[in-house]
Amino acid sequence: MDKGKRMGAPDAFLAEELVQRSILKVREPTNVEFITLLSVMPDLHEAETQVFALAKELDGTAIVDESIAREISRLYGIEAHGTAYLLLRLLYRGRLSKKQVKEAVTGMISAGWRLTAEEYAKLTRELETP
């Protein structure tokens, strides 16, 4: 999060807010062997290797937006979705309001966040319903 905040990435500020509100927790993965295995892949960033390692350890879902990262997750049997999925899930569970999701999406798109047309359509539909 700190690196993302220094770069001005809106998703990093959103993540920080979610951690402060105890909606998300920051944890370090412990499976050093799996991290080492993933770290030799040139297309994965360090943060993505840690996200994958933790998702595998906890039998959880990795949240990654890069398509190559999602492809690699499938190779290792790790469920992966993008930020749009996380935002909608938090909306459905009442942890974020529509206004908060709209603000996050607007900020992230302004900062260069990309999502597929399908993801954008679903996000728009969900945010427009009363």
How many whole angstroms separate alpha carbon 74 and alpha carbon 72?
5
Find the domain containing 51 and state its range.
2-128
Q: Total structural domains in the chain?
A: 1
Alpha-carbon distance of 50 to 30, in angstroms, equals 9
Stated pTM of the model: 0.83
Which tokens sit at 26?
């920051």
- Between the CA of residue 43 and those of 94, 96, 101, what are the distances in Å? 35, 32, 29
> Residue 123 burial by CB count (10 A; 0-12/13-18/19+): exposed, middle or buried?
buried
* 61-110: pLDDT as tens digits: 999 988 899 999 999 999 999 888 999 999 999 999 999 898 888 888 88
Band (pLDDT 50/70/90 cuts) for residue 10 is low
Average pLDDT, the chain: 88
The CATH number for 6's domain is: 3.40.50
